[in-house]
Structure 1
């Protein structure tokens, strides 16, 4: 079956090796990352939420769908993977319906989490979590789009008492349920990443690097991961500089926190040339 060029490219990227898929939060950051030569990009729910004066997980579905369509339009020659949170639904049928809406934005891949967003019951029960992955798989197949389905086990990020073993159990089940890519954000060591890779049973694994754990791209590749994303790390880095600069102005009357023109010097010529190339 023939898929879109973006989907075909995305599928081939997962066949061998290990690639980095950074996470823009708007059109400008997407164009900049494209200009640095990254082969694919992924949305960040947190990074986008901050641009709308919202907390992560507080972006409504239709606002997120509009953002995904904007990213796809911004870099039409690159695959975009959607951070689609928990599919914006608790039920399997709801996930399936929303997955089809996500595919309609033009993304080449999407991820579905097993986190509920509720503190009292942070993870969907095992059987329901697996059925939600099956439903997402059926929805993608019905569209004939070939969009890659990433299933996420959120055990580390939701405070599960045994996050590695429970992640491995869920990752194995999600692979059997039809996920193309498996993802358990949280492991910080090569050994733990390797455990998730083993649980995936030969299917590609995404590793999340949201801080400096002492692992390089080559280290993570050697652990068996096929794909590396960095979530909201770039957006947080930008906000951290902004927050510190404003703190210095307010609390100390100092402007030493400013990056100055030097740090932003590449932006004007880059965006001028980039806009000219697009036009």
Structure 2
């Protein structure tokens, strides 16, 4: 763990503080990893920080992501398992990591506070708390309760004494609640202590421009899920940060699915023509090549 018994790992504190500073101005890309290997690949590409993807983590365990289908299914990744994976990722890289913390692994404010504290303990420099319940009859937490949950998250950050970027995510657009509700909820979460608002489902220029204009703080959007604007276009619109969710993980599972079908259906090995070389991966994953390693 990076933060133990009130002590602070100075390297982790410096990374967390640098992550805070990234949110002051400009527009930056925060690609999403799901394990130590994917995190190292993204770090090697030169990104200043990365995020985790709960969907990618879930799929890597052969589990469903947190969504409506999970109502009738057991097997959703639990908090302890997710925290272990986040810790593996933060321990594998020398750059800040923002954690996808879903709804805080519980509906009540104490669950959210505990999740934030544990994310900080395993080295996360930031994290999002969403208002999606996973229940079809009531897909969003009651707004007053959702605000209380963000407030509890902010209190947990303050109690830790660690730099941490708290993101308030609303799934209002994804569940059809509309743009006005997305704006209202986002501003309420910002007022309750979130440092950044996250509105998945905002993918077109007009919607994003409206959010940037109406929100009282920086905006995170997710690309790679639908029609995608470029980073230059998003910067011009005033977006502060851009994530890609589970899209990279799903792309790799697409290749895995296709390779499996080729092997099973045709008995051929064409999938191997584009594989990354063994030496390339060994060199990338050699610990001495980790930034900051001795």
Tell me whether the two structures share a fold, i.e. TM-score over 0.5.
Answer: yes
Contact persistence 1:81–1:108 (CA under 8 A): yes
Equivalent position of 1:41 in the other structure? 50
After TM superposition, list the pairs within 5 Å mapping 1:258-277 onto structure 2: 258-260=271-273, 262-265=274-277, 268-272=279-283, 274-275=285-286, 276-277=288-289
Contact persistence 1:134–1:177 (CA under 8 A): yes
After TM superposition, list the pairs within 5 Å mapping 1:55-204 onto structure 2: 55-57=64-66, 58-75=76-93, 77-157=94-174, 159-160=175-176, 162-201=177-216, 203-204=217-218
Partners of 2:119 and 2:228 in 1: CA distance = 35
Q: Which runs of 5+ in 1 are unaligned?
A: none
Aligned length: 271
Contact persistence 1:114–1:152 (CA under 8 A): yes
Equivalent position of 1:245 in the other structure? 259
The C-alpha deviation readout for 1:217-270, integer Å capped at 9, x for no partner, is: 0111111111000000000000001112212333344444x042x4413x6325
Partners of 1:118 and 1:155 in 2: CA distance = 14
Partners of 1:70 and 1:214 in 2: CA distance = 30
Contact persistence 1:24–1:47 (CA under 8 A): yes
Q: Aligned to 1:264, what secondary structure does the other structure show?
A: coil
After TM superposition, list the pairs within 5 Å mapping 1:24-35 onto structure 2: 24-35=33-44
Equivalent position of 1:15 in the other structure? 24
Contact persistence 2:40–2:284 (CA under 8 A): no
The normalised TM-score by structure 2 is 0.87
Partners of 2:58 and 2:92 in 1: CA distance = 18
Tell me how large the CA RMSD over aligned residues is.
1.7
Deviation at 1:91, TM superposition (A): 1.0
Contact persistence 1:171–1:196 (CA under 8 A): no
Q: Aligned to 1:4, what secondary structure does the other structure show?
A: helix
The normalised TM-score by structure 1 is 0.92
